[in-house]
């Protein structure tokens, strides 16, 4: 099992290189051997596949040129696919649907779910607001995305919940850059920006630890894991 995990880690590492450089077609499904049954994504605009435009249909990401190569805007902050899409393709899984997309709910979220929201921050909106920093794009943060994820597993997990989670790939981030983007926007000093670092790191460590804690005999999923 440990060897298998190492192999999959190396494949994932290689995949990021694949996204940046041409490779032979035989490498396209490099992650298939890992046997992932689903992918769950948390993050910001680098990974959002449609959550922000469901919150705000007037978002610029709901219009061309975004989605130009996909024949229509999908909420991706790109004219085509994102890194998470290529990872799903390599694992021979469907592209993870946006959590707020009603069509995803109808299909049961087969292949995974994308909880990422463009503009999200690592720190909650209230924490930033206490420092006179406002998220002008969305109120969502890593905290709210985790709440969505816990809610999703609580309402959809079968009796084999623990096994389903064990055979899934969880992608956390990129997230946290927007905390600084908004701080710059509100003219914060370098000292004030530096003060965000330890708080943001601690918040991310706590919430990353919550992402996957599970027991092999569990049948339900809670914020503390499967039990």
Residue 185 scores a pLDDT above 80: yes
Q: Is 168 domain-assigned?
A: yes
Total-model pTM: 0.79
**Residue 41 shares a structural domain with residue 26:** no
Q: What percent of the chain has pLDDT over 90?
A: 53
> Do residues 69 and 200 make contact, with C-beta atoms less than 8 angstroms apart?
no
Domain ranges, residue 146: 35-51+91-226
**Residue 24 shares a structural domain with residue 122:** no
Report the distance separating Cα 155 and Cα 220, nearest Å.
9
Looking up tokens 């894991």 gives 225
Q: How many beta carbons lie within 10 A of that of residue 1, not counting itself?
A: 5
Q: What rounded mean pLDDT belongs to the chain?
A: 80
**Residue 12 shares a structural domain with residue 101:** no
Report the distance separating Cα 151 and Cα 189, nearest Å.
38
Q: Is 218 domain-assigned?
A: yes
Residue 120 scores a pLDDT above 80: yes
DSSP assignment, residue 120? -
Structure tokens at 21: 């450089």
The mean per-residue pLDDT over the stretch 156-177 comes to 82
The total number of structural domains that make up the chain: 2
The mean per-residue pLDDT over the stretch 39-57 comes to 97
Structure tokens at 166: 């064990």
Residue 157 scores a pLDDT above 80: no
Report the distance separating Cα 137 and Cα 135, nearest Å.
6
User: Which residues pair with residue 101 across a beta bridge?
Assistant: none
Length, in residues, of the chain? 227
**Residue 102 shares a structural domain with residue 197:** yes
Band of the pLDDT at 109, cuts 50, 70, 90?
A: low
Looking up tokens 């992650």 gives 31
Q: Is 165 domain-assigned?
A: yes
**Residue 98 shares a structural domain with residue 133:** yes
Structure tokens at 18: 């694949």
Q: Is 171 domain-assigned?
A: yes
**Residue 11 shares a structural domain with residue 99:** no
The mean per-residue pLDDT over the stretch 116-141 comes to 95
**Residue 96 shares a structural domain with residue 138:** yes
The mean per-residue pLDDT over the stretch 130-137 comes to 95
Band of the pLDDT at 7, cuts 50, 70, 90?
A: very low
Looking up tokens 């998470």 gives 84
pLDDT in the model for residue 196: 83
Q: Is 82 domain-assigned?
A: no
Residue 9 scores a pLDDT above 50: no
Report the distance separating Cα 84 and Cα 91, nearest Å.
11
Residue 26 scores a pLDDT above 90: no
Structure tokens at 98: 């946006």
**Residue 113 shares a structural domain with residue 130:** yes
Q: Is 59 domain-assigned?
A: no
169 prior amide bond cis, ω within 30: no
Q: Is 128 domain-assigned?
A: yes
**Residue 114 shares a structural domain with residue 205:** yes
């Amino acid at each position: 099992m440990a060897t298998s995990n190492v192999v999959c880690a190396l494949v994932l590492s290689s995949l990021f290189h694949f996204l940046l450089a041409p490779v032979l077609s035989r490498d396209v499904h490099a992650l298939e051997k890992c046997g992932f049954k689903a992918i769950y994504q948390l993050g910001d605009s680098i990974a959002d596949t449609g959550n922000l435009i469901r919150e705000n249909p007037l978002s610029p990401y709901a219009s061309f040129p975004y989605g130009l190569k996909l024949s229509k805007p999908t909420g991706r902050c790109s004219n085509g696919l994102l890194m998470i899409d290529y990872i799903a393709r390599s694992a021979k899984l469907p592209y993870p649907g946006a959590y707020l997309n009603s069509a995803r709910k109808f299909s049961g979220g087969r292949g995974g779910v994308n909880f990422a929201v463009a503009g999200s921050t690592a720190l909650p909106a209230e924490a930033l607001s206490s420092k006179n920093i406002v998220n002008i794009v969305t109120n969502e943060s890593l905290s709210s995305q985790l709440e969505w994820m816990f809610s999703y597993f609580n309402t959809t997990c079968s009796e084999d919940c623990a096994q389903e989670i064990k055979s899934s790939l969880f992608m956390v981030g990129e997230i946290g850059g927007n905390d600084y983007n908004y701080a710059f926007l509100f003219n914060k000093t370098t000292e004030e920006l530096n003060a965000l670092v330890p708080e943001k790191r601690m918040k991310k460590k706590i919430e990353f630890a919550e992402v996957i804690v599970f027991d092999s005999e569990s049948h339900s999923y809670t914020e503390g894991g499967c039990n």
